[in-house]
Structure 1
């Protein structure tokens, strides 16, 4: 709607900015998965969207931010899902349900930016690119700390004096990383496959911690 002042209404302006950011993310991921992360330049990403390099840097500090933009989205989604779990659920059950049920809704959020198949291809690029993998793990540690404090608050604990929330989240996060790594090196790279593998690995947490693995004396 034209306000007659020659200015863009705030809502429309924000939607245009979001569309530009989403377009840059999609262009970046397409180039990273086709050419490789190191071989792709910021100029090439900006050119693919027909914007200037200066516009790119309005949205991202650099290539790393664009490469990990969907990880940030997914982790924020997971944190929100943990907060929304019923308070009676034990910590590990709340984490498990948040991640497994989250696949139903995070796919829609990702699809609003890029096809899920592209997101999953980029996942494998991150796993095979040392600088991105290191950055992803660093950011994941920040999310783990946030989740540990959410769990502590749910249980009425102080995360700074009681180690259990951080231990639980560390175990959970480690299992998720193992499942992701197995999925990324496998042959079935579908959403259904990563979800099934995640569920299977989480099912083994109890037996693995309980010990008694030996099948012979």
Structure 2
């Protein structure tokens, strides 16, 4: 059981994330200072830097949490699943828990608006892309391990993961920019995009692709 001290630390960290996100979406990332974030929560700068290295770190905290938990969920999948099935099953099995974890910290509509801030802020977008590349390497390594492959000599794990993550990103931008999607609607959109991955790569697109 988590102790009182740890729960208090988690509440402080969550409060900093919430305050930062609210400021970022209302006045912009660049215009927001660490002082403003800490003043909103009534803590010191020292407390802020105990949890986060900088503004970028707090801005992408939920994306980092998602990546870590997604990887953990994939790592626990049965070894006899096909690679693509593993990625899809991990998404389906972890979506609700990940969504609930986000909503324990910030409202969903604020989370979606923060995605828009990331998309239009060059520094945050670059940092998010770096974060995504780290996750892709972790996922590709795990997919390769499960299949008994060497990812340095066999490109298939990296190719599959790159395609899957790219589709996830496109779907995420699609529903985040709509501004009113529920978690269920977001999962529906994401599944639909993933369903189109294999046909888009291998099938004829009709008269236009003939």
- TM class, shorter-length: over 0.9
Instruction: Give the CA deviation at 1:115.
Output: 2.3
Spell out the pairing of 1:73-112 with structure 2 (5 A cutoff).
Answer: 73-112=65-104
Alignment of 1:7-18 (within 5 A): 11-18=3-10
Distance 1:147 1:141 in 2: 10
Q: How far is the alpha carbon of 1:210 from its aligned partner?
A: 0.7
Of 46, 63, 81, 1:54 maps to 46
1:124-145 per-residue CA deviation (whole Å, 9 max, x = no partner) reads: 2212222111111110100110
Q: Give the TM-score normalised by structure 1.
A: 0.89
In the alignment, which residue of structure 2 is the partner of 1:4?
A: none
Equivalent residue, structure 1, for 2:111: 119
**1:171-195 deviations in whole A, cap 9, x for unaligned?**
1011111112222333543222221
Q: Which runs of 5+ in 1 are unaligned?
A: 1-9
Q: Is the 8 A contact 2:38 2:44 kept in 1?
A: yes
Query: How many aligned residue pairs are there?
Result: 208
TM-score (norm 2): 0.92
Q: Does 1:19 align with 2:11?
A: yes
Query: Which has the greater radius of gyration?
Result: 1
Aligned alpha-carbon RMSD (Å): 1.7
5+ residue gaps, structure 2, are none
